[in-house]
Structure 1
Amino acid sequence: MITIPYLTAVSTYFSYGLIFAFGHLRDFFRRFLDWWLTSNLQGYEPICLGHEDFYIRRFYHRIQDCFGRPISSAPDVWFDVVERYSNDNNKTLKRTTKTSRCLNLGSYNYLGFGSLDEYCTPRVIESLKIFSASTCSSRVDAGTTSVHAELEECVTRFVGKPAAVVFGMGYATNSAIIPVLIGKGGLII
């Protein structure tokens, strides 16, 4: 079991609590100032009621430059991320012309199969002509093809077991199929 050092946990919770407390303090003064200074929006209903947008206003704006990063290249194994800057404490982010070359660890295309390359792309196009795109779907939807049987036979020989079953990557495999195949304490390789 992985344990977090005590000092790290305490400082993280303390920082979170401090930001939370200062956020509520800022909201208190904002409500007081809004009540004190009559707004030109009197008679209109507020867009958000209560604390519906508290997280966005007080937490997310401080760290939003870390998320939703625009890219300026194909989503390959390596891609170009557009650099941004802010002059108003991250309320708005402005794009620059500079980019950073980054390793793609945050998408399902981490192997780079979703981009063009001179080896994979022609073979993918040929296989689509022969087997169609339904080969990637569930066998319940599209049936079993010779490619499924060939791949399972190859995996069977590779792992040295009497049989193997291959699934496309997806949530349904983890949530619906695996619990049927194996119980608690089992191992799937």
Structure 2
Amino acid sequence: MEGYASICLGLEDFYTRRLYLRIQDCFGRPISSAPDAWFDVVDAFYVLLGILKHEGKLDRKPGYYPYSLNRRTTKKSRCLNLGSYNYLGFAASDEYCTPRAIETLKRFSASTCSSQVDGGTTSLHNELEECVARFVGKPAAVVFGMGYATNSAILPVLIGKGGLIISDSLNHNSIVNGARGSGATIRVFQHNTPSHLDSVLREQIAEGQPRTHRP
């Protein structure tokens, strides 16, 4: 509407109208089993109810848009799982892991509802970190609950102002945010291009620190 900001960006609107509405049968497919290596997917089909006429209100331009409805059935399909965080298979029923997971939930609950610093440390955290340290042959180890937090929190500890980070152009956003939070100088090289990495290294060594040009 005139005088109001658009609800979504042009690219988002283009994706929804031109792509998602045409391939939405590939998404939103509920599963009816544990997300194991194989799982059951509820079969569904989409019915094209007609063409929805839009008069140009809000952020859409006047025109005609397909209008469909997802209808589920009682049938299930056995599918190979290629997109799950269940890397170790613990989400499925297992004669070894399942009883121990239930025992742990009863003893410690599903979450400490706090970071370790704020009182969320349990005996399991300490035991796990000691086990990891022994496994890698180090005096101590720190375990994070998620990979994003690992990169974004550790990088500012390892390097700070006056340091240099040379980062791959396709590094994950967690690495990018960790590098920015460190205060170090950041230079980016083209992904999988050793020649560009070499030139960036040479340039930074030759120029030294920003402004002062010290080593």
- Do structure 1's residue 109 and structure 2's residue 69 form an aligned pair? no
- Do structure 1's residue 75 and structure 2's residue 35 form an aligned pair? yes
Q: Is the 8 A contact 2:113 2:120 kept in 1?
A: no
Instruction: Return closer, same or farther for 1:154/1:78 CA change in 2, 3 Å cut-off.
Output: same
Q: Is the 8 A contact 2:45 2:71 kept in 1?
A: yes
Q: Is the 8 A contact 2:43 2:72 kept in 1?
A: yes
Q: Is the 8 A contact 2:38 2:80 kept in 1?
A: yes
* Equivalent position of 1:144 in the other structure: 121
- After superposition, where does 1:146-161 map in structure 2 within 5 Å? 146-161=123-138
Instruction: Return closer, same or farther for 1:97/1:109 CA change in 2, 3 Å cut-off.
Output: same
Q: Pick one of 81, 85, 93 that aligns with 2:70.
A: 93
Matches of 1:93 and 1:74 in 2, distance apart?
A: 23
Matches of 2:106 and 2:75 in 1, distance apart?
A: 40
Instruction: Return closer, same or farther for 1:97/1:132 CA change in 2, 3 Å cut-off.
Output: closer
Alignment TM-score, normalising by the size of structure 1? 0.55
Matches of 2:80 and 2:8 in 1, distance apart?
A: 41
Deviation at 1:101, TM superposition (A): 1.9
Instruction: Return closer, same or farther for 1:93/1:147 CA change in 2, 3 Å cut-off.
Output: closer
Instruction: Return closer, same or farther for 1:129/1:71 CA change in 2, 3 Å cut-off.
Output: closer
* Equivalent position of 2:145 in the other structure: 168
Matches of 1:164 and 1:50 in 2, distance apart?
A: 44
Deviation at 1:120, TM superposition (A): 1.9
Task: List gaps (5 residues or longer) in structure 1.
Answer: 1-47
Instruction: Return closer, same or farther for 1:69/1:90 CA change in 2, 3 Å cut-off.
Output: farther
Deviation at 1:63, TM superposition (A): 1.4
- Do structure 1's residue 178 and structure 2's residue 154 form an aligned pair? yes
Q: Is the 8 A contact 1:85 1:95 kept in 2?
A: yes
Structure richer in helix, relative to its length:
1
**Aligned positions, number:** 138
Instruction: Return closer, same or farther for 1:142/1:168 CA change in 2, 3 Å cut-off.
Output: same
Matches of 2:166 and 2:137 in 1, distance apart?
A: 22
**Letter matched to residue 74 of structure 1:** A
* Equivalent position of 2:96 in the other structure: 119
Matches of 1:110 and 1:155 in 2, distance apart?
A: 18
Query: Sequence identity, in percent?
Result: 70
Matches of 1:170 and 1:138 in 2, distance apart?
A: 15
Deviation at 1:50, TM superposition (A): 11
* Equivalent position of 2:206 in the other structure: none
Matches of 1:82 and 1:139 in 2, distance apart?
A: 39
Instruction: Return closer, same or farther for 1:112/1:90 CA change in 2, 3 Å cut-off.
Output: farther
Alignment TM-score, normalising by the size of structure 2? 0.50
Structure richer in strand, relative to its length:
2
Q: What's the RMSD between the two structures over aligned residues? A: 3.4
Deviation at 1:74, TM superposition (A): 2.7
> Which contiguous aligned blocks of 4+ residues in structure 1 show a shift greater than 6 angstroms?
48-52
Matches of 1:144 and 1:157 in 2, distance apart?
A: 20
Matches of 1:143 and 1:86 in 2, distance apart?
A: 46
